[in-house]
Structure 1
């Protein structure tokens, strides 16, 4: 999470949407960088609302806007799948070694996901809270130029974006019936991506 206090902006870090690169580029310019533990670095709207918003409101931050980036859902799952192929996960229940991408997506679309496919939901990450706290600015990962334009304008600076935390390349082909199942079972994630800028 990056907090730009003077600019009244908080960038929430949706996992697997290139946020590590933004943290590297913008961290030195942020008023606050939350990069550990992962549960706080990747705090979704509900966790921001519960822990951070009350603290910020007490010191005059009631009008902070929230920014998030979402990725096309199949591409997002592909990034998780590739990330979980890394050697450091060998032997763990979260590893996807020995699992095809199609099997990974089939497991993700189930109600009771096995550990290797339990990677959350972008729609749940940005879900508005009953008290009205919600994402103010929602960008597609695939629209990096639009996101950069917004941030450069809002932060009054030129941003040089490095490549960070890039998942290894792997085949991520889906059977048509698997894609159809994902689109049906995870419709909220596709709707969120469709409405992002």
Structure 2
């Protein structure tokens, strides 16, 4: 997560939504940058802990922005990431599993170590389902976010590939995809709102 004083922005880092590339592109402009376990601070945690600190310490109430990805592609990215050689032998490894089996495990018991990745809806919202954000962008329409950042920073923001996942087969059956969509209905409802807004959903939150 990065905070930009001049641009009055707080960019939350939703895992597997291109945040590493965005962070690298904007590192030199960030006034505060969270790393390690705090890099992926949820929207609720930011609202409860970080926002009051920024207001008290810096009189700053930044607009909060985040990126959301197609929910199945989001899980697909986690699956690919966890096939890495570095994780082999770990309970978190997905090596040796088909994506079909991985999705079914996520549906059966999302607390299993290899599929325990959370959901974007939970990351982006408060307990009542409200996103404590001002701007939510679609990962699949990254150019919309880059245009927004260009206007704020006064220069183009160029992304370089980072954290690229292995190229492996990730096809699943229509039946499993339908089950997944039903189980992640809240994620898909929010994601559909972002797409319906042209890839940039503007929200009112105070």
Would the aligned equivalents of 2:87 and 2:93 in 1 still touch at CA under 8 Å? Answer: yes
Q: Which residue of 1 aligns with 2:103?
A: 105
Tell me if structure 2 keeps the 8 A contact 1:45–1:127: yes
Unaligned 5+ segments in structure 1 are none
With structure 2 as the length reference, what TM-score do the two structures score? 0.89
**Unmatched runs of 5 consecutive residues or more in structure 2:** 200-206
Aligned to 1:2: 2
Determine helix, strand or coil for the equivalent of 2:65.
Answer: strand
Displaced runs of 4+ in structure 1, greater than 6 A? none
Q: 1:109–1:186: 8 Å Cα contact kept in structure 2?
A: no
Any residues of structure 2 matched to 1:1-197 within 5 Å, and which? Answer: 1-35=1-35, 37-38=36-37, 40-61=38-59, 63-128=61-126, 134-196=132-194, 197=199
CA distance in 2: counterparts of 1:111 and 1:154, whole angstroms: 42
CA contact (8 A) 2:5 2:60 kept: no
Indicate the RMSD between aligned Cα atoms, in angstroms.
1.6
> What is the number of residues matched between the two proteins?
194
Assess if the C-alpha contact under 8 Å between 1:45 and 1:129 holds in 2: no
C-alpha displacement of 1:98:
1.2
User: Which secondary structure does the structure 2 equivalent of 1:144 belong to?
Assistant: helix
TM-score w.r.t. structure 1 length? 0.93
Q: Deviations over 1:147-187 (max 9, x none)?
A: 10001111222211111111111111011111010011111
SS in 2 for 1:142: helix
